[in-house]
Amino acid sequence: MLAKLKLQLSPTKTRVVGLADGTAGFDFLGFHNRWVPVFQNPRRRHAASWPSQRAMQAARQRIRDLTPRQRVGLPISVIVQDINRFLQGWIAYFRYGNSAKQFKSFDRYVTHRLSRFISHKHGRSGPNHGLAVLLESKTQLGLMRASGSIRYGFAHAGGERVRRAV
């Protein structure tokens, strides 16, 4: 079929993955895909996807790029606005899946990075001063959170309402 379309598989990117045991998975379009056991019944499995390691590293790098020491002279609101602009798109792309664990970890990273930035801005060392400033604000300075933004769809199977990831 590929030859008919004048396409060929890339030998460096193509591999066979055995999904039966649940230990192997594959990355596709920034998601890591794998068969995982159902929490209530470990004998059953379902397909799960979450941001791949490469996608998480790229997102962390983008946050580092938005919070360098060279930008300390800018108001915090501008930095938070830039971070939120990135987070809005990143969260919208990865929220359809099983990303809760990765989102929680990424939220901690963004909070830590921004708190270090605020500390540097105020001439303090370490993240504690910045974290205090960030947490004192009731809105956390308007910083978006990835946690709690995951969306699930509903499927109807035989008249029964079944919850599944979209």
Q: What are the tens digits of pLDDT across the range 21-37?
A: 767 888 889 999 988 88
Whole-number Å distance between alpha carbons of 24 and 95: 22
Residue 154 placed within a domain: yes
User: Two tokens at 100?
Assistant: 């809760």
Q: What are the tens digits of pLDDT across the range 63-101?
A: 999 999 899 899 988 999 999 999 999 999 998 888 889
Domain housing 118: 53-165
Domain count, the chain: 1
Residue 148 placed within a domain: yes
**CA 139 remoteness from chain centre:** 21
Helix (H) or strand (E) holding 135: helix 128-136
Residue 124 placed within a domain: yes
The structure tokens 């909070």 sit at 111
Residue 75 placed within a domain: yes
Residue 27 placed within a domain: no
Report field, pTM of the whole predicted structure over 0.95: no
Residue 66: which of 37, 93, 90, 102 has the closest Cα?
90
Residue 11 placed within a domain: no
